Amino acid sequence: MSLHQLKRHFPWITLVVLILLVGAMDPTFLRPQNLMELGADIAPLFIMALGMTLAIYIGGIDLSAQSVANMTTVLATLSLPYLGVFSALLIAVVGLLFGAFSGLVTTRLKVPSFIATLAVGGLALSVGQFASGQRALHMDVAARDQAFGWMFGRTAGIPHELVVSLGLLAIAWFIQSRTTAGRTLKAVGAGELAAVASGIRVERYKVLAFALSGLFAAIAGLMFSVKLSGGSPTLAEGFLLPAIVAVLVGGTPLTGGVGGVVNTLIGTMIVAVVRASMLYLNIPATGQQIFFGIVLIVAIALTIDRSKMRIVK
């Protein structure tokens, strides 16, 4: 097997090695119940990373995901007393609109996606700060349980957050692998100029990718809000970098066209195991961000397709 062929298997090999190393430090880590708890804890990050995958899959990036998630924790908390479970619909629409706006700025105004999404993230942050009065908000526990009690708790020992996130993975996988839109997104990521030459309306599908990214970020924000019973314009702070790392170490490069949402599941578990190991080693949150920054640089250097980027500026 050549190095190029082996490269596809690096993510799951890395995951297995990390699990064994952390298991050697703490044998209780390998208990199935402990691993399910780990999956439940990382569920909002995984959902955010799922949406990010679709943006990176086309060769773009969505830096607004964290701000959209923060904003939706505020909107979910404020709308719950009036809309109940239908506040989830409001959250979904808002996420789609912010994501679609990022896509329109990128495609119509020809603004690079990292600038467009950074700007849209600033808008989302401002909305969250204005709506919350720049303070933490608290949900009514009874209303939360009535509307979103199904989102947490357990059935047969399996955390509901895990079931929700795997259900969203199945939906994202179906979109990516079993629909014309998904196959078109891959074509755009693999070679946008070739896709344009073949008559594909590339701009429409790029807007779709960013809209879906915004949707998943909003759902992640809703789960944050429900789990923590409140909202804040900074509730999901610190999740953007690990979400990008999860996508890249899972095998979806910034240049797009390969990888996908199943790879992101592996990448997110790698991030989860690394975070767990740093907790065992008593590494503070600032140290974790430094580590993920280094991992991000290494992941980009190892996965990027340089044939698509002959000049780097």
Mean pLDDT for 111-120 is 96
Closest CA to 208 of 55, 45, 52: 55
Please name the helix (run of DSSP H) or strand (run of DSSP E) that holds residue 32, with its range, or none.
helix 32-41
Inter-residue contact 188 to 206 (CB < 8 Å) = yes
- Read off the pLDDT of residues 176-214 as tens digits, 9 standing for 90 and up: 999 999 999 999 998 888 888 888 899 999 999 999 999
What tokens were used for 243? 């979400």
Q: 24 lies in a domain?
A: no
Print the domain residue range for 45. 10-17+31-303
Q: 25 lies in a domain?
A: no
Q: What is the pLDDT of residue 137?
A: 94
Residue 288 pLDDT class (50, 70, 90 cuts): confident
> E-assigned strands of the chain?
137-138, 154-155, 158-159, 230-231
- Read off the pLDDT of residues 38-80 as tens digits, 9 standing for 90 and up: 889 999 999 999 999 999 999 999 999 999 999 999 999 999 9
Residue 1 pLDDT class (50, 70, 90 cuts): low
261-280 vs 285-303: helix crossing angle, rounded to 10: 140
* Global pTM value: 0.92
The single-letter DSSP state of residue 158 is: E
Q: What is the pLDDT of residue 297?
A: 79
Q: What is the number of other CB atoms lying within 10 angstroms of the CB of residue 8?
A: 13
Domain count along the chain: 1
Q: What is the pLDDT of residue 273?
A: 87
Q: 293 lies in a domain?
A: yes
Q: What is the pLDDT of residue 4?
A: 60
Res. 8: pLDDT tops 90? no
Residues ≥6 apart with Cβ < 8 Å to 93: none
Q: 217 lies in a domain?
A: yes
Q: What is the pLDDT of residue 172?
A: 97
Q: Tokens 């503070």 — which residue?
A: 284
Average pLDDT across the chain, whole number: 89
Res. 84: pLDDT tops 80? yes
Q: Tokens 């990521």 — which residue?
A: 189
**3 state DSSP class of 63:** coil
Q: What is the pLDDT of residue 23?
A: 83
Q: What is the pLDDT of residue 35?
A: 84
Q: CA–CA separation, 137 vs 134, rounded Å?
A: 9
Mode of pairing for the β-strands spanning 230-231 and 154-155: unpaired
- Read off the pLDDT of residues 121-167 as tens digits, 9 standing for 90 and up: 999 999 999 999 999 999 988 999 999 989 888 888 899 999 999 99
Which residue type, as a one-letter code, is found at position 118? Answer: L
- Read off the pLDDT of residues 17-29 as tens digits, 9 standing for 90 and up: 888 888 888 788 8
Mean pLDDT for 219-231 is 94
Q: 22 lies in a domain?
A: no
**How far out from the chain centre does Cα 25 lie?**
29
Q: How many CA atoms lie within 13 A of 146 on its CB side?
A: 12
Inter-residue contact 279 to 25 (CB < 8 Å) = no
Inter-residue contact 41 to 232 (CB < 8 Å) = no
Q: 1 lies in a domain?
A: no
Res. 3: pLDDT tops 70? no
Q: 191 lies in a domain?
A: yes
- Read off the pLDDT of residues 230-284 as tens digits, 9 standing for 90 and up: 999 998 888 998 899 999 988 898 888 888 999 999 999 988 888 888 877 777 7
CATH assignment of the domain containing 200: 1.10.3470
Partner residues linked to 155 by β-bridges: 158
Q: 118 lies in a domain?
A: yes
